[in-house]
Structure 1
Amino acid sequence: MERLKLSRIALQALAWVGLWVVVFMILGGGNDAPLRFFRRLWPLLVAIAAVVIINGAVLLPRLYFSDRRGWYVVAGAALVAAATLILQYGSVPDRAFPIDFGRGARPRGMGMATLRYLLPVATAFLGSSLIEVMRYAGYREKQAVQAQREQLTTELKFLKSQVNPHFLFNSLNNIYTLTLLRDEKAPESLLRLSGMLRYMLYDSETEAVALSREIEYIRNYIALLQLKDSRGMNITADLDDSRPNLPIAPLLLIPFVENAFKHSRVEDIGVGFIEINLATTSQGIEFTVINSVPAIPTPLDGVGGIGLDNVRKRLELLYPNRHQMSIESAEERFAVTLNLQLT
């Protein structure tokens, strides 16, 4: 990759050198013998090539593309000025400029004498900068398009998983059973399901919701799943809601809980368990979900759920450099911990 970059810069330097050779030949420098013409011209050509290479290999990547553009302007102006002054005052005294502005020794004062060197050097510097900036802009645009495509793909999978038909079917069946038994939990369970659907269909369209809404969704999810076993399940949920207004992306935490229910066989009261813990910090949250791992793997539920890999992609898109996700997989337990900076 680095060789390709250096090759591109060297090719551009050669192109600017060739351009100014043609310009000087058109302006009359080609009337001399070729050897004499290039002997007069070579200091300027070397300076042009050096300025283009230094600009492309050092100044642009280290200053301009690193968002230090004020320093880039200063350094670029200093580079062009230094090259011009070296050409004006450091070349061999009796070597004339490729185009004669008059007979005799070249003028050594400011004005036209300096401008004749400044113009080609500055043009090469500005032109090479423009080309590289346009190339970089195109590269960033391609990156943005690719990131947008990946985000759309991830969001599509996420949206498909929001309304889990299997979960809804079981919840409705359980609530229907409660109504037949005239259980007092039926109205409350129906309200829980209604609140979850409202959250999934409407609140999730926003970029961020209050942490209290996400916690409420998790609690409702756990409560509805517990309806399918009257014996109860070994589930503990310690969800800290002391900072309810912390902003968080909607439906970000539920995949961890859903994953635990899918793979833990929590219905096995003897060995199955799920532990959910959410603690708030000064800047965000620490969310941990631990579940049992059965000796015989559970058949995976292929309907609903986006999986931890897709959750990781979503975190990278929504919270770049603001999250840390760790997974601990052992023979009898599986644990995932998410540290998330929200403010």
Structure 2
Amino acid sequence: MTAIDNKAATKGDSAAPAAHRLSVAPMMDWTDRHCRVFHRQMTRRAMLYTEMVTAPAVVHGPKPRLLDYSSVEHPVALQLGGSDPRELADAVQIARPWAYDEINLNCGCPSDRVQSGCFGAVLMERPQLVADCVRAMMGETDVPVTVKCRIGVDNQDPETILPQFIETLAGAGVRHIIIHARKAWLQGLSPKENREIPPLDHDLVVRMKRQFPELTVCINGGITSLDQARCFLDQGLDGVMIGRAAYHDPASVLIGADALWGDDHAPDAVDVVNAMRPYIADHLAAGGRLHQITRHMLGLFMGKPGARGWRRVLSEQASRNGAGLAVIDAALAELQASAAA
């Protein structure tokens, strides 16, 4: 689906600010447009984030392939990676017709290839450059420009550098920051290890909200349930971002999440599958492959009777040539037979 013309018309202008109460983290190779449409069937309220797209790719690469999305995804944010203020501003200007609800600057990814481009978590060491970047980005858009960061990198003292980093960003006009409550070790740990080994310091993020009450402060890192999310909201944080748990066990995190807004929208997981059928049919009709969508749906029935059969049918059959909605039917039949046994 491209439908750029429809996106501006259907954009929920009042939905974006409140949407930060719960959001799904940007995750490379995971939160693509198909994943986000799938997640949207479970929650009408949560903010969804794109995978990180680098500013050079937007400026020089295939715009529709990088920026297109379905209008049903709103509220949806575009996450950019980069460290050149002019290039980031150009990327934001190019993305304007796509009418994203928010533009987010990545200052948290620790991967080697991100470091080599001088963006991601390494920018925690260069707060003034980040300030220059967000000022340039804000000059090209009317939607909020936000920052996602870590509590620090390498041997930095988070108690010292994080408030300084936030203060610098606030001085540049940033009103919303998402903090992954772990350090990033730029040398010696892989990206996967950086998501698991550095200890979490959720309390520090809570203190940052108290120190900067005028800012929207959201927490990320190690949060796996709606109960945890409620706890952080009760402590005064403005929002909670959930990553891997929302991908691997989406129903437990996203079905019922709209109750955080007082909304009783909570579809059954089978209803979610059926709601995806028209989108899948359109994708197949346009020449797409079934597994491009169903790979994101493998964990929908996590922990339920028949979940293994659901995953097996999709894993074995969805990548075959000509695979279509009949594979979905077969996977549901396997699920329901196990549940009835």
Q: Same fold (TM over 0.5)?
A: no
Pair member with larger Rg = 1
Bigger RCO (CA 8 Å, 6+ sep): 2
Q: With structure 1 as the length reference, what TM-score do the two structures score?
A: 0.21
Q: With structure 2 as the length reference, what TM-score do the two structures score?
A: 0.21
